[in-house]
Amino acid sequence: MKIFNFKSKDRHNSLSVSNSDVASPDIKTVNSKQMIKSISAFETSLREKTSHWSKSISEHYLHIQQKFKEKHSNKPISSSQLASFKSRLELGIHTFHSGIISSDRESIWPYLLGVYPLNISPSDKVKLAFKLDSEYTAEKHRWQSNPLKSKSILGLIYKDVDRTDRYTPYFSVSNDHPHFIKLFNVSATYIATDVPDYSLYVQGFTDIVSIFVVIFESESLAYACLKEFMVDQLSILDPKGDAFSARCALLGSLIEILDPAFFRFLEANDASNMLFTYRWFLLNLKREFTFDQSIRVFETVIITRLLAAKPVSIFFPNFIPETKECSIESQIQSMQFPEHSNSPPGNEAHLSEAYKDIFTLFLSYQLLAMYRREFIKKRLTMPEMCEFFSEASGTHNFEVILKLGKNLFSQYICENLSFEADKENDYVYI
C-alpha cells in the first residue's frame, strides 16, 4: 500500500461545513438478532471451536454488561476518586460514561493504560516512575549515540514533527523549543526501540505521539503510556498495509449490515474498499476533529480496547480468547478465514487486533452516516469524498458523532454479545 502524505490543511482556512446544512443520519436502534442473521455465513467456523472457552468469555462479558447497565454519574472523574475503584475495568467503564476532568488526565491515564497498577502504593509508584525514567533515558541515549545508523529515519521523523499540530498553542513554537524537542525525542525513541524494522516509517505517526506529549509533562511517562497504547496498533506502522486492509474490510462489513443502501452507493462508486478512510485508522480519526476533541476520542479508544480485551467479533469470528490448552496465535493460525466479498487478504492476526478497535469502527461509521444523504444526493466519487473530509477537518458535529459512536459500542457490549447456546447446532450464539 502506498504511504500517503496526509498533511492537514490549516483548519482555520479549511472549507466550513455547516452541520445545519447536512441532513442528519437515520438513527435506528441496532437489532442484534437481525445483525446476527445478516452475517450467518460467518458463524460456521465457530461451531466446533467455542465450547472450551464459552463459559469464561461469557462470565467476562456478563461482568462488563452488568457494569455498563449500572447508573453512572455524568460528573467527570477526578484523580481523587482513583482509590474508590476496585479494578482497572471498573475505572474504564466509569470513564466511558462520565469522562475525566481534563487537568487530571495526566494522573489517570497511566492507570487506564496499565502503566501503573490501580492498587500501587505511593512509595512503589515513585520507584516505578524512577525505573520508567531510567529505562527511557537509556533507550533515548541508544539512538542518540549512533546518529549515522539513525540518520535517515530521524530525518523523516523531524520533518513529521515539524508539521504536527502547528495550529495548536502547544506546538506553535520554534524548533528549538522544549515542546518541539520533546515530541521529537519521544517519537524517535519509540520508532528506534519498539518498531521491529525502524527503517520503515509511516508518515503521520507523530500525530499519535503528540497526544501523549501534551497530556504528560514527563517524557518518560509519555513514552511509557504511548507504548501501551500502541500495543494494539503497532501493525499500522507496517507499510505493507495489511492492518489497514483488515480495518477497512470490517468497516465495509459494518456499513453493509447497518446501511445496505449506502453500501450499494459506495460499491457503485468504487469506494466500498473504504481505502479513503486510511488516515482515520492510522490516527484514530485525530485529523477529523480538533485537538481537544481528539484527546477525548483517544481516551475512549483506550477504554474500549480495555473492555474488548477478549473480543468476539460480530463480523469476522476469527479471534478466540487464549486458554491453557491452546494459545491465541495457534488458534488464529488453525482457523479458516470465512469467504466474503469484504474479506481482507494477508495475515488474519491483523483482524484480531482490529477487533479491539471496534469503537473506532463505530465512530468511523457515524462520521460517514452524518453525511451519507449528502454524498448520495451529489453522487460523490471516492476522490471527492477524500477531498470533502480533508476540507471538513475539525468542523464536524463532534458531540453527536461521539455520542452515537458510544451508543453503538454500548449496544455491542450489552446486546449483541449473547452467550446462549444454540440448541440445534450446539455452539455459542453470538
Cell of 346: 494477508
Query: How many angstroms separate the CA atoms of 185 and 139, rounded?
Result: 10
Indicate the pLDDT class of residue 350, thresholds 50, 70 and 90.
low
Indicate the pLDDT class of residue 322, thresholds 50, 70 and 90.
very low
CB 319 within 8 A of CB 355: yes
**Structural domain boundaries, residue 398:** 1-71+235-430
Residue owning grid cell 533515548: 140
Query: How many angstroms separate the CA atoms of 43 and 316, rounded?
Result: 8
293 versus 347: the higher-pLDDT residue is 293
pTM: 0.76
Cell of 115: 502503566
In this predicted model, what pLDDT tens digit does every residue of 253-298 receive, in sequence order?
889 888 999 999 999 988 988 988 988 988 999 999 999 999 999 9
CA distances from 26 to 251, 359, 368, 412 (A): 18, 19, 12, 18
Cell of 290: 480538533
CA within 13 Å, CB half, 184:
20
Burial class (CB in 10 A: 0-12, 13-18, 19+), 13: exposed
> Over 50: is that where the pLDDT of 314 sits?
no
Query: How many angstroms separate the CA atoms of 335 and 355, rounded?
Result: 16
Query: How many angstroms separate the CA atoms of 301 and 92, rounded?
Result: 10
**Is 203 inside a domain boundary?**
no
**Is 154 inside a domain boundary?**
no
> Over 50: is that where the pLDDT of 343 sits?
no
**Is 352 inside a domain boundary?**
yes
Query: How many angstroms separate the CA atoms of 367 and 390, rounded?
Result: 13
Query: How many angstroms separate the CA atoms of 171 and 179, rounded?
Result: 7
Mean pLDDT is lowest, of 19-33, 40-54, 99-113, 333-347, for 333-347
Interhelix angle 105-112/205-215, nearest 10 degrees: 120
20 versus 354: the higher-pLDDT residue is 354
User: What is the arithmetic mean of pLDDT over 79-97?
Assistant: 91
Residue owning grid cell 474479506: 343
Indicate the pLDDT class of residue 89, thresholds 50, 70 and 90.
confident
Q: What are phi and psi of 100, to 5 degrees?
A: -130, 140
Q: What is the pLDDT of residue 149?
A: 64
- Dihedral Cα 320, 325, 326, 328, nearest 10 deg: 50
Q: Which amino acid is at 419?
A: F
Pairing of the two strands 427-429 and 420-422? antiparallel
Q: What is the pLDDT of residue 234?
A: 75
Indicate the pLDDT class of residue 68, thresholds 50, 70 and 90.
low
Indicate the pLDDT class of residue 308, thresholds 50, 70 and 90.
low
Mean pLDDT is lowest, of 24-38, 139-153, 229-243, 276-290, for 24-38
Q: How many domains does the chain have?
A: 1
**Is 190 inside a domain boundary?**
no
**Is 92 inside a domain boundary?**
no
Query: How many angstroms separate the CA atoms of 420 and 430, rounded?
Result: 8
Cell of 32: 442484534
**Is 37 inside a domain boundary?**
yes
Mean pLDDT is lowest, of 44-58, 113-127, 220-234, for 44-58
Query: How many angstroms separate the CA atoms of 287 and 11, rounded?
Result: 9
Mean per-residue pLDDT over the chain, rounded: 75
- Which 3 state secondary structure label does DSSP give 366? helix
Q: What is the pLDDT of residue 96?
A: 92
CB 418 within 8 A of CB 430: yes
Query: How many angstroms separate the CA atoms of 246 and 159, rounded?
Result: 29
DSSP state, residue 192: H
Cell of 335: 482457523
Indicate the pLDDT class of residue 200, thresholds 50, 70 and 90.
low
